[in-house]
Amino acid sequence: MKASVQTLGGIGPSQPYLDVTAFRPVTDMRFGNSGFNSLRGPSLVNMDASLFRVFRIREKMNIQVRVEGLNATNTPHFGNPSTNVSNLQLNSDGSIRNLNGFGVITGSYRTGRQYDEREVRLGVRFGF
């Protein structure tokens, strides 16, 4: 393994997220020299926002109007790249012949909701 693995940041089936030439397929039975948790995927950033206003009707009655924006910036949350170096195919000169999914991000995460796109909710609550 090289001293540090360069993060390229590509997303898609033919664009590697990391420098795949920093790793080699295991050809015989031995331990490698890569550190534990030495690779990190893209970070998860999420911004939820809400605004609400309470209108008093009487002493013990009120109406609350609420607007909530989940994933307000509509940021995609990409998954981690595939880590199976055995899928990598190299040419005899060391150039990449076929990634076969190694180092490639092909999916996304859901951050606790059914869908990951921006979601806006409107609500009214009557309290007594």
Domain parsing of the chain, residue ranges = 20-127
Report residue 2's pLDDT band, with 50, 70 and 90 as the boundaries.
Answer: very low
Do residues 50 and 42 make contact, with C-beta atoms less than 8 angstroms apart? no
Q: Across residues 75-102, what is the average pLDDT?
A: 82
Question: What pLDDT is recorded for position 68?
Answer: 94
pLDDT at 104 over 80: yes
Do residues 97 and 91 make contact, with C-beta atoms less than 8 angstroms apart? yes
Q: Across residues 116-121, what is the average pLDDT?
A: 87
pLDDT in tens, 36-70: 777 778 888 888 999 999 999 999 999 999 999 98
